[in-house]
Amino acid sequence: MVITAPVAPERSLNAWPSPVGRAYARIVGQGLPFTFEGLLIASVLYSMPFAVQPFAVEFASVDQRLLEASWSLGVSPLETFRRVVIPLSMRGLVTGIVLSFAHTLGEFGVVLMVGGNLPGVTRTVSISIYDAVQSLDYAAASRTSLLLLIVSFIILAFTYSLQRSVWLKPRR
Amino acid sequence: MAETASLTLAVTQGFPSGFTIDASLDVDLPPGSILVLFGPSGAGKTTILRQIAGLEHPAAGTIRFDGEVWCDIKRLLWCPPQKRRIGLVFQNPTLFPHLTVRDNVRYGIRSASDAQRVRGGPGSATGGQTGVRMGVGPPSDPIAETERMLGIGDLGNRYPAALSGGEAQRVALARALAPDPRLLLLDEPFASLDAPARLRLRRDVRALLQTTSTPAILVTHDRAEALAMGDTVAVIIGGRVRQVGLVSDVFSRPGDAEIAASLGIEAVLPARVIGSSGGVIEVAVGDVTLHVAEREPMAPRTLVYACVRAEDVTLETRAAGQASTRNHLAAHVVSIASDGPIDRVTLNCGFALDALITRRSREELGLTVGTPVTAAIKATSVHLVSRFSPKA
């Protein structure tokens, strides 16, 4: 079976089926599909769970008594979050951000469905590999794959060295 | 704050375990004074303290401090901990691990108005009320002064992980006092320290509260600590406040047997050191002089509590002969209470003193109310607890 990347069709503003989409299209002037913004929103929604989990685990591991100490010193819950919880959760935050970034980097299905394959707008690395394979340009596909592999490797190496470094380690 | 603040509290709170807090308390907290919440472990002292701090919501009741309503469940009034202007020190030092000692101490001081309030107003040469409280001279930085008094002035750039337990607890105390709280809440702050560090910190806390005129509430189950630190004490048993009063009154005259059991059955007599010679310290309890064998020498005029267990008091009806007992007090019997084979004989020998003797001895001595006796107490049976109260 051959998957054909859809091409951005011309549609009138009233063609969007959902009221939310219609409102967005009226304000911005165009809909979300096959735009960079649409691709961004879809990717965020799709990869969020990979960030939420490490964030939540790390936030929950902050000693409750530190929060109480902060409140008793007159600092509001929101300020306490900024001045105590976030700094002590740095490791989890970095892990979550990098994991979701790496996940998005390799994402294919969502990108193709929402973003399509518009060079310079929504063509991601994985789509570009898929495109090259489709046009039987195996050399280009291999080169891009290698690039993706190297980038992924660097990101992971960076994450793990960050996690080990002193400045991110909460001094407990 | 130079005026006596009052704390009124009437709260109930239930727990899934079936334990309930049903406490009411109405006390005056003069500047620099310490109210001790004393009771056995699990009596609800800490929960009551957390309710005062605003970290725990009572199921019903009211808490008022210094004319402000902090909590009134029926009228849906709630003052969050941020607005209560309290200082809080936990049992274990809970310093922010990602901040240096300096940043920890100054954590509660953020806005410029805060800094001004603490420093005694901008550009005031003589200092405002808060500047004066630090003593003589131009208004120095009161936070630096607190750090100096606590001996942590040199630790500013260290992180909490590099501090000893005693140092960390001192930093926690400085942090709690830095924003100039109206009330300091101490939840067994000395319990995690070794004995010498504990004694030093107790003395320093006392001195600090005096210089800053901050009243404090101290939770403890340690009887020596309650005696050493407290001006007034509230005995808490089973989630209820059972007795409130001056430390010496409550410890010497517990309201009932259960309170007495939790306090320890001992007479606690306010006394003053007169002098010492050859390992024996002389203390004055009212007009009566007691001889006490203590290893540690004590400076004259030190205020102490002389503690005497009722089972260490022996009674003689004739004039004392030559014996090794150092203390012979002329007394007469005020009352006799029987408890099985043991009689508790309450004496008046210038102060109230209980003696536990067997019924047989009591019968042989022919003791009845009004009988003149001599109460004998060995010098080694009296022990002294110094009171870190600078007040005369």
Other Cβ atoms less than 10 A from the Cβ of A14: the count is: 8
Other Cβ atoms less than 10 A from the Cβ of B285: the count is: 22
Read off the DSSP letter of residue B319. P
Predicted local distance difference test score (pLDDT) of residue B42? 87
Name the residue among A63, A65, A59 with its Cα closest to residue A81.
Answer: A59
**Minimum CA–CA partner of B173 in chain A:** A69
Residues near B173 by Cβ (< 8 Å), separated by ≥ 6?
B89, B150, B189, B201, B205, B208
ipTM of the complex: 0.75
Q: Decide if B179 contacts B118 (C-beta within 8 A).
A: yes
Per mean pLDDT, which range of A81-90, B10-19, B135-144, B247-256 is the poorest? B135-144
What's the whole-number mean pLDDT along residues A102-129? 86
- Angle (nearest 5°) at CA A169 between A166 and A170: 130
Distance from CA of B88 to the nearest CA of A (A): 6
B22 backbone dihedrals φ, ψ, rounded to 5°: -145, 80
Residue B74 to residues A52, A136, B20, B61, B254: CA-CA distances in angstroms?
39, 77, 19, 7, 34
Q: Give A73's contacts in chain B (Cβ within 8 Å).
A: 87, 107-108, 175-176, 179
Per mean pLDDT, which range of B6-10, B276-280, B362-366 is the poorest? B276-280
**Alpha helix (H) ranges present in B178-218?**
195-212
Show the tokens assigned to B137.
């001279």
Name the residue among B387, B31, B377 with its Cα closest to residue B181.
Answer: B31
pLDDT confidence band for B140 (50 / 70 / 90)? low
A29 backbone dihedrals φ, ψ, rounded to 5°: 105, -15
Predicted local distance difference test score (pLDDT) of residue A3? 53
Task: Test A170 with B80 for CB contact under 8 angstroms.
Answer: no
A88 and chain B in contact, CB less than 8 A: yes
Task: Test A171 with B160 for CB contact under 8 angstroms.
Answer: yes
B212 has a pLDDT exceeding 50: yes
List, as one string, the DSSP characters of A107-141: --HHIIIII---TTTT--HHHHHHHHHHTT-HHHH
Name the residue among B205, B207, B243 with its Cα closest to residue B225.
Answer: B205
Q: Decide if B3 contacts B31 (C-beta within 8 A).
A: yes
Half-sphere exposure at residue B31, Cβ-oriented, CA atoms within 13 angstroms: 10
Residues of B with CB under 8 A from a CB of A: 53-55, 80-88, 90, 92, 94, 96-98, 107-108, 110, 159-161, 172, 175-176, 179, 185
Read off the DSSP letter of residue B171. H
Q: How far apart are CA A149 and CA B278, in angstroms?
A: 85
Predicted local distance difference test score (pLDDT) of residue B320? 55
